[in-house]
Amino acid sequence: MKILITAFGPFAGRSENASMLALHELKKSFPEIHTRVLPVDSVIAPARLKQALRKIRPAVLIMLGEAAGSEKIRLETTAWNLLDFTLPDLAGRQPTHRFIHPGLPDRLGSTLPLEKFHALLSTHHHEVALSNDPGRYLCNQLFFTALHYIGYHAIPCRAGFIHLPLAEHYPTDRAADALRHLIVEMRS
């Protein structure tokens, strides 16, 4: 089974991103999974994700991002067709109150087994929550873009987005452990 996991690189003047750190740690346990670290750029990141989906055609896509202020792993249920950046991306773009794809639905839902993920992570003593608010920044943009692209091109792929707390609130080894459990679950 082909699995693609994406993460974001650093942004907002920081030198690291919790999602990137967890992805690098996870790759040590599963060297065969496909990974991409995407820049926090509202043009380049979606283009690179679509390119990876075309090339790899994964059965599972898990997109990772970091959520400052959260102390739990957030399993995102809903992607919203809206960009409303509170800070600029790396290229200085800061769209506000703009549709990601005009004419498409207001929201799309994750196709990952989130209830099962929630129960599994809880069983393994991870702090976890279901969330319907992935923000309106690049995490949400990538999430919505991926779900639309997969559906439009009829790629048989389950996809969703997971927000990780900052590494100082949820150590990288713990975040990677949670992701390991999810990979094993998707393969079973």
**Residues 117-138: tens digit of each pLDDT:** 999 999 999 999 999 999 999 9
Q: How confident is the model at residue 25 (pLDDT cuts 50, 70, 90)?
A: very high
Domains with residue ranges and CATH for the chain: 3-187 (3.40.630.20)
pTM of the full structure: 0.96
Task: Write down the pLDDT at residue 188.
Answer: 83
- Residue 32: is it exposed, middle or buried by C-beta count within 10 angstroms (0-12/13-18/19+)? exposed
Euclidean distance between CA atoms 133 and 19, whole angstroms: 17
Euclidean distance between CA atoms 188 and 79, whole angstroms: 26
Task: Write down the pLDDT at residue 166.
Answer: 95
Sheet bearing 128-131, strands edge to edge: 34-38, 3-8, 60-67, 158-165, 73-76, 128-131
Euclidean distance between CA atoms 130 and 47, whole angstroms: 28
Residue type, 163: H
Task: Write down the pLDDT at residue 125.
Answer: 97
Task: Write down the pLDDT at residue 13.
Answer: 78
Average pLDDT of the chain to the nearest whole number? 96
Q: Which residues are catalytic?
A: 76, 139, 163
77 CB-near residues (< 8 Å, 6+ apart) = 109, 110, 114, 130, 131, 132
**Span 16-26, average pLDDT:** 96
Which residues of the chain form beta strands (DSSP E)? Answer: 3-8, 34-38, 60-67, 73-76, 78-80, 107-109, 128-131, 158-165
Task: Write down the pLDDT at residue 11.
Answer: 86
Residue 12 has pLDDT above 80, yes or no: no
Task: Write down the pLDDT at residue 106.
Answer: 97
Q: How confident is the model at residue 85 (pLDDT cuts 50, 70, 90)?
A: very high
Task: Write down the pLDDT at residue 39.
Answer: 97
Residue 14 has pLDDT above 90, yes or no: no
Task: Write down the pLDDT at residue 21.
Answer: 97
